[in-house]
Amino acid sequence: MAKRLEKFKTTIFTQMSILAVKHGAINLGQGFPNFDGPDFVKEAAIQAIKDGKNQYARGYGIPQLNSAIAARFREDTGLVVDPEKEVTVTSGCTEAIAAAMLGLINPGDEVILFAPFYDSYEATLSMAGAKVKGITLRPPDFSIPLEELKAAVTNKTRAILMNTPHNPTGKMFTREELETIASLCIENDVLVFSDEVYDKLAFEMDHISIASLPGMYERTVTMNSLGKTFSLTGWKIGWAIAPPHLTWGVRQAHSYLTFATSTPAQWAAVAALKAPESYFKELKRDYNVKKETLVKGLKEVGFTVFPSSGTYFVVADHTPFGMENDVAFCEYLIEEVGVVAIPTSVFYLNPEEGKNLVRFAFCKDEETLRGAIERMKQKLKRKV
């Protein structure tokens, strides 16, 4: 194996999903819904296939989708972007992240990550040859340690890679935190890569795109996708929005990673992004109910549950149940209790920092959530 990837094993999501099947466990681990996306979007994909829209799309996206993405971004942020020069359609947000890293980061460049982080961040930065510097967000509120961040950002910093609403913690970056990041980036000429795939799952405060802050659009790549908002994670439709000088690098990498993304799914994505506001309000309302169901149940089981303002995840402290670390607890939870959670230590540069925490996903139907809670109530006992 290439040295840049030898530290990365099979992803934790794959490992836990395999164990879930083996033990017949209820899967609250990997972040995909166990219900389907809306019919009007699926029908648009079927129609596109029937209409013969099945060959390679234009590399950076069909014009109609680029325009729909730009229109949605304007509605959400107030920013007017050129769909032809500043929007790139990718194979999911994960590819948008990879294209941004590989297209805009040179070997040896320093990139700051907020830990815990989505696991592809570190792996992709390793592929790009970046030097990774971590800033740890700590419970209970996972707020950014602003003084630590100020000390970390220097003229050697090439970029900050951030995610809000934040996976795995559910934290949303506050305006004060975003303004601090912005001022540091402007002062030190630093880029921002902003993963905003959960922007429509913001429960307790409004989502703010850092690109919308003064002086930030010209140094920001904003990345998003269709999957989380429309419960169509298997379609892998994502995008990156950036000014032309950054889009050029993203597109160069994208051209040689995937070149183009599924054509009929792109046509369906146009229909999705034109959904009425009532769709997004109902989505948020439904997920809020699911979150309340899971959080209440986890607390009744005996977990310490930390606040989640966005995403469809909650993080909890498993230590009341007496296991030595999060991996041991999650293995026990699957094998003896029949429920899957994700050990969060895999989301840290230093796994020790996450060994007390596990992540649960509530992007499941009510019956599944209640079934998982019932299993834990019956079989999981506090030791302290």
Q: State residue 9's pLDDT score.
A: 74
For the ranges 29-33, 71-75, 201-205, the lowest mean pLDDT is seen at: 29-33
- Give the mean pLDDT of the chain: 96
Task: Look at residues 283, 278, 288 and name the one whose alpha carbon lies nearest to residue 230.
Answer: 283
Q: What is the pLDDT of residues 228-266, one digit of tens each?
A: 999 999 999 999 999 999 999 999 999 999 999 999 999
Task: Categorize the per-residue pLDDT at 51 as very low, low, confident or very high, splitting at 50, 70 and 90.
Answer: very high
Average pLDDT over residues 314-334: 96
Q: What is the pLDDT of residues 114-155, one digit of tens each?
A: 999 998 999 999 999 999 999 999 999 999 999 999 999 999
What are the tens digits of pLDDT across the range 359-371? 999 999 999 999 9
Q: How far is CA 175 from the centre of its chain?
A: 19
Give the integer Cα–Cα distance in Å for 213 and 174. 12
Average pLDDT over residues 194-219: 97
Cβ contact 260:251 at 8 Å: no
In whole angstroms, what is the distance from residue 41 CA to residue 108 CA? Answer: 43
Give the three-class secondary structure for 261: coil
Positive or negative, the CA dihedral 318, 319, 320, 321 is positive
Maximum Cα–Cα distance across the chain: 62
Domains and CATH numbers, the chain: 3-30+278-379 (3.90.1150.10), 39-273 (3.40.640.10)
What pLDDT, on the 0 to 100 scale, is given for residue 57? 98
Amino acid 19: pLDDT? 86
Dump pLDDT digits (tens) for 260-269.
999 999 999 9
CB of 202 closer than 8 Å to CB of 232: no
Distance between CA atoms of residues 325 and 41, nearest Å? 42
Residue 64: count other Cβ atoms within 10 Å of its Cβ: 16
Distance separating alpha carbons of residues 20 and 82, to the nearest angstrom: 45
What is the reported pLDDT for 313?
98
d(CA 346, CA 355): 9
**What is the residue-wise DSSP string for 198-241?**
TTT-B-SS----GGGSTTTGGGEEEEEESHHHHT-GGG--EEEE
pLDDT (tens digit, 9 = 90+) per residue, 79-110?
Answer: 999 999 999 999 999 999 999 999 999 999 99
Distance CA 160, CA 144 (A): 13
pLDDT value at 384 more than 70: no
| Cα–Cα distance, 329 to 159 (Å, whole number) | 35
